[in-house]
Amino acid sequence: MERFAAIDIGTVTSRLLVADAKGAHVHDVVRAYEVTNLGEGTDASGRLSHQAIQRVAQALDGFLRLRDEASTPKHPVVATKAVTTSAARDAANAADLLRVFEERGLTLEVISGQQEASLTFRGVSAALPADEPLMVVDVGGGSTEVSFGYAGKAPSVFRSFDIGCRRVTERFLATDPPLPSELEAATAWMEEQLKAWAAAVPASLQGAPLFAVAGTATSAISMDEGMAVYDPAKVHGAKLSREALRALVEQLAAMPEGEREQVVGLDPRRAPVIVAGLLILLEVMEVFAVREFTASESDILQGMISWAAEDQRCSR
């Protein structure tokens, strides 16, 4: 096995994974994340703020220290992949963010929504039996990716929607706590886009088990379980019904942000956008008639590690 590092710079969260990989198998070594809110204000301004880029730079320096600590003579990190997604895709000054990585000897790739969906599907399906049908949803800060396919293969159909928890919060949820009319407007906006694509899903994949990744889904499990200390081993593979998710949305939407920060199982830094995130996940489940989701800690980061290992093999 060889050791690789993956860095994912999202609209809300920046994350690191150092892992050992051989073929499709990925074994996590070090994980870390920071809420950097790169996309704060980007939906309206079309630009990344200087403050947001500096938050990412600070997180990146911490990630690189952890990566270097995990790179040992016996198990050196042979390659580092770094990608960024929706916020940078939307920003006119994305080059400013790329420069932060160049100054540290890294290339930051601004990947498309389609690449994001494909890598996430790859990461989720790697942990499942081959050829198992599945649906994957990744609720991000600026976009949400929905994919259908079979484990071990590329997704059969997938779509990236410009629907994310940061974007929805800034566009629709202006009041604290949000008004029912704001929640209804956000839901109607999402429903229109999701339903327009739902017909593209082959009949053979409709009803496939839903696996949900990233902070919205894992936070939902953590809150439902009342985890005072987040435990990824307990979150991975845990299930939550649509009814339980709807109750969680109603509970949190009735609270001002200060109260949401105190909810057991929720990282307080996610409090400003968690209502929108849960609302998006709920609407995906409603549109595709899904009764429950399974949370997966295997996601785009594992997909990136597999990608890095593949590139390494091809370069030899």
State how far the Cα of 5 lies from the Cα of 104, in Å rounded to an integer.
15
Residue 311 has pLDDT above 80, yes or no: no
The tokens describing 40, both together, are: 């704060």
Range list of H helices, 103-145 = 113-125
**Phi, psi angles (nearest 5°) of residue 231:** -125, 100
CB 85 within 8 A of CB 142: yes
**Phi, psi angles (nearest 5°) of residue 77:** -75, 115
State how far the Cα of 265 lies from the Cα of 116, in Å rounded to an integer.
27
State how far the Cα of 118 lies from the Cα of 273, in Å rounded to an integer.
25
Residue 23 has pLDDT above 80, yes or no: no
Helix (H) / strand (E) containing 63: helix 50-70
Residue 316 has pLDDT above 90, yes or no: no
Residue 315 has pLDDT above 80, yes or no: no
285-313 average pLDDT score: 90
**Four-residue CA torsion sign, 220, 223, 226, 232:** positive
The pTM assigned to this predicted structure is 0.87
231-257 average pLDDT score: 95
Q: Give pLDDT tens digits for 46-103.
A: 899 999 999 999 999 999 999 999 999 999 999 999 999 877 887 899 999 999 999 9
Q: pLDDT band at residue 24, thresholds of 50, 70 and 90?
A: low
Q: Give pLDDT tens digits for 260-277.
A: 999 999 999 999 999 999
Half-sphere exposure of 28 (CA within 13 A, CB side): 16
Q: Give pLDDT tens digits for 288-301.
A: 999 999 999 888 89
